[in-house]
């Protein structure tokens, strides 16, 4: 049978992949995709905990699923704003490579 730990490990592995992508890649769009992977890994472990805690009515904990719904909404808004910033950045600098964007570097 599938245990809670299996889901948590898969979720942790997906988060690690997204984390490594955000650390290693130098293209802003790919970094944004890696951030999406990390958000979704968090959602997976939340839904696994929701299914794990079956209440007295014999149903999963739906409070967690409402929370996941909010996370998905905020993530969609975040992607829209992030991509708009990338478009504005590309207009002024003609690049999406983070090593070319060092104005704020100390």
Partner 1 sequence: MPLILFWIFATLMLVFGAAVVINRNPVASALNLVVSFLGLAALFMSLDAYFIGIIQVLVYGGAVMVLFLFIIMLLDLRAEKLRRINWPAAAGGIAVALAFFVQISYVVGHFKPAQKTFPPLTRSTIDDVHNVGRLLFDNYNLPFQIIGVLVLVASVGVIVLSRREVP
CB of 106 to partner 1, least distance (A): 16
106 binds partner 1 (CB under 8 A): no
Give the number of C-alpha atoms closer than 13 A to the C-alpha of residue 59, restricted to the C-beta side. 6
CB neighbour list of residue 101: distance below 8 Å, 6 or more residues apart? 89, 93, 95
The C-alpha angle 35, 27, 21, rounded to 5 degrees, equals: 40
CB of 103 to partner 1, least distance (A): 16
42 binds partner 1 (CB under 8 A): no
7 binds partner 1 (CB under 8 A): yes
93 binds partner 1 (CB under 8 A): no
x/- letters, 18..37, toward partner 1 (CB under 8 A): xxxx-xxxxx-xx-xxx-xx
Binding residue for partner 1, selected from 35, 42, 76, 101, defined by CB under 8 A: 76
In whole angstroms, give the CA distance from residue 26 to residue 69.
30
In whole angstroms, give the CA distance from residue 73 to residue 97.
28
CB of 42 to partner 1, least distance (A): 11
């Amino acid at each position: 049978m599938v245990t809670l730990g299996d889901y948590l490990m898969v979720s942790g592995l997906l988060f690690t992949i997204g984390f490594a992508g955000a650390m290693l890649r130098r293209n802003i769009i790919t970094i944004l995709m890696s951030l999406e992977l990390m958000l979704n890994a968090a959602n997976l472990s939340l839904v696994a905990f929701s299914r794990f805690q079956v209440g007295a009515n014999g149903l999963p904990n739906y409070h967690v699923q409402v929370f996941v719904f909010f996370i998905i909404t905020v993530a969609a808004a975040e992607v829209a704003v992030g991509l708009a910033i990338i478009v504005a950045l590309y207009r002024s600098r003609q690049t999406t490579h983070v090593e070319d964007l060092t104005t704020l570097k100390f």
